[in-house]
Amino acid sequence: MGKLWLPVYLPSFLIAAGQQAVLVLLPLYALQLDGGASFAATLLALRGIGSLVSNVPSGMLVARFGDKWIMLSALLLLGGSSVLLGQTQSLFLAGLLTVVYGAGSGSWLLARLVYVTEAAPLEMRGRAIAALGGIQRVGMLVGPVAGGGLATGFGYDVAFLAAGACAFASLLLVVLFTTNSRPEYDLAGGPGLHSTARIIRDHWPTFRTAGVANIGLAVLRSGRMLLLPLWGTAIGLNEAQVGMLFMFSSALEILMSYPAGYLLDARGHKATALPCFGLVILSMFLLPLAGSLWPLVLVAGISGVGNGFGTGIQMTMGSDYAPKDKRGEFLGVWRMMGDSGQVGGPLVIGPVAEAFSLASATVVTAIIGLGGMAVMAFIVKEPKRV
**Residue range 338-356, pLDDT digits in tens:** 999 888 887 788 788 878 8
pLDDT number for residue 188: 46
Domain range enclosing 283: 190-386
Closest CA to 321 of 215, 210, 214, 219: 210
The answer to whether residue 301 sits within a structural domain is yes
Residues 6+ apart with CB under 8 A from 303: 224, 228, 249, 279, 280, 283, 284
End position of a domain, from candidates 177, 212, 228: 177
Same-domain check for residues 242 and 301: yes
Q: Are residues 108 and 63 located together in one domain of the fold?
A: yes
| CB-based contact 51:103 (threshold 8 Å) | yes
What contacts 119, CB < 8 A, 6 or more positions away? 3, 4, 7, 8, 128, 181
Q: Give the CA radius of gyration of the chain.
A: 20
Same domain, 320 and 379: yes
**DSSP tag of 189:** T
* Cβ count near 249 (within 10 Å): 23
Q: Specify the number of domains making up the chain.
A: 2
- Of 131, 149, 177, which residue sits at a domain end? 177
d(CA 340, CA 349): 14
Q: Which residues of the chain have pLDDT under 50?
A: 186-188
Considering the domain architecture, whether residues 167 and 199 belong to the same structural domain is answered as no
Distance, CA of 56 to CA of 334 (rounded, Å): 9
CA of 93: how far to CAs of 77, 130, 132, 180, in Å? 15, 36, 33, 34
Q: Is residue 185 part of a domain?
A: no
Identify the CATH number of the domain in which residue 196 sits. Answer: 1.20.1250.20
As a whole number of angstroms, the distance between CA 320 and CA 113 comes to 11
**pLDDT number for residue 1:** 63
Are residues 226 and 144 located together in one domain of the fold? no
User: Is 113 part of a structural domain of the chain?
Assistant: yes
| pLDDT recorded at residue 12 | 96
CB atoms within 10 A of CB 20: 22
d(CA 255, CA 265): 17
Is 127 within 8 Å of 261 (Cβ atoms)?
yes
Are both 112 and 207 inside the same structural domain? no
pTM score: 0.85
Q: Is 8 in contact with 116 (CB distance < 8 Å)?
A: yes
Residues 268 and 344 in one domain: yes
Residues 200 and 147 in one domain: no
- Identify whether 182 is part of a domain: no
pLDDT at res. 322 = 92
State whether 168 and 200 are in the same domain.
no
